[in-house]
Amino acid sequence: MKKVLITGSTGLVGSRIATLWQDKFQLITPKYEDGFDITEKDSLNKILDGLQFDFVLHLAAYTNVDKAEEERELCYNINVVGVRNLFEVCQKKKAGFIYASTAFVFPGKLSENPYTEKSIPDPLGFYGKSKWAGEEIVKGKAAIARFDYPYRFDNFSKKDIFRTIKELLENKVKLKAVEDMKFNPTFIDDIARGLEELINEFSPGIYHLVGKDYTPYDAFRLICKYYDLDLSLVEPISFFEFYQNKAPRPQYNALKQSNLKTRFRSFEEVLAMSLTKS
Ligand SMILES: NC(=O)c1ccc[n+]([C@@H]2O[C@H](COP(=O)([O-])OP(=O)(O)OC[C@H]3O[C@@H](n4cnc5c(N)ncnc54)[C@H](OP(=O)(O)O)[C@@H]3O)[C@@H](O)[C@H]2O)c1
């Protein structure tokens, strides 16, 4: 069985993947809270020297898009310096490297949709810039897996878009949904299967592990439809108005799914499936 080291295994994506992969790979999941800090080169080298693994799935990151604008140094240290530190050791150990990246590397121009693996990134905000800088470090030698708005169904501490909206609407909170924007909400279980494929058929390159694109308004409408919630609580709003005091981010950011064996289900398919399974 292949040995896979997962960084960021306490995060939204990593914790779900670690659960799903329990019987698929031999997992090593060092934790930040236990002193595994990718920004501390010496201690990182010492920890990794004592471990044996065939692949690294690098999910650990600074992920707060809005705060990244003020906490640039911290974001840069984790998303750029940290990647360099980790990648260097993995190269020495000849381990395959999967780097988790984001759709936020693109500027989200309608005329450029849908973005493919060949599209040239040009991120708008600091978070996107730091993730692209991370891509540039590993490019050509690693599999770069871009995600967008990953979601899951269990009660994880960090709420994703699905749970945030569902819980607000269950509590009868009025909310605004952007109607002139594109994004690709993606089921983490599908991402896990896509990443499993990338490990089992490892080939350096760029991969878009994303579901179908929607406008946020349409995605919220589907949550109302499948979970019997009140759509009249949802008011459409423009991208400009909603995000005017937030970090710059892509507006029309539909990504084209990569041509993999793994099928990435649409938000609607997954919502329908969640009801039949519960
Ligand atoms: N969530 C999204 O919307 C989204 C969208 C596109 C791409 N992505 C990418 O997907 C990956 C996973 O995202 P996520 O949402 O699961 O992230 P997350 O929930 O914010 O988790 C981040 C993880 O990184 C760890 N970490 C932070 N600083 C570290 C350091 N210096 N050394 C070692 N570990 C550190 C955290 O540990 P603690 O738990 O101890 O803090 C946590 O396990 C990231 O690369 C992100 O850029 C995410």
CB of 10 within 6 A of ligand 1: the answer is yes
**Cβ 59 vs Cβ 16: under 8 Å:** no
The contacts of residue 135 (CB under 8 Å, 6+ apart) are 99, 101, 105, 121, 144, 206
What is the average pLDDT across 79-100?
97
Domains in the chain: ranges and CATH: 3-277 (3.40.50.720)
Q: Which of 5, 6, 12, 74 to mutate to test the pocket of ligand 1 (most atoms within 8 A of CB)?
A: 12
Give nearest CA residue, ligand 1 atom 11. Answer: 59
Ligand 1 binding pocket includes 162 (Cβ within 6 Å): no
Check the CA dihedral 4-10-14-15 and report its sign. positive
Q: Report the pLDDT value the prediction gives residue 49, as an integer from 0 to 100.
A: 93
Spatial CA neighbour of 154 closest among 56, 5, 22, 278: 278
Q: Indicate whether residue 32 lines ligand 1 (CB < 6 A).
A: yes
pLDDT classification of 94: cutoffs 50, 70, 90: very high
pLDDT (tens digit per residue) in 58-78? 999 999 999 999 999 999 999
The pLDDT of residue 63 is: 98
Please give the pLDDT value at position 73: 98
How many whole angstroms separate alpha carbon 204 and alpha carbon 138?
Answer: 9
151 forms beta bridges with 187
pLDDT for the residue numbered 276: 86
Q: How far is the CA of 13 from the centre of ligand 1 (A)?
A: 8
Which tens digit of pLDDT belongs to each residue from 134-160? 999 999 999 999 999 999 999 899 999
- Written as one letter, the residue type at 123 is P
Give the residue-averaged pLDDT of 148-176: 96
Number of DSSP helices (H) and strands (E) in the chain, helices first: 10, 10
Q: How many whole angstroms from 11 Cα to the centroid of ligand 1?
A: 5
**Looking at the whole model, is its pTM more than 0.95?**
yes
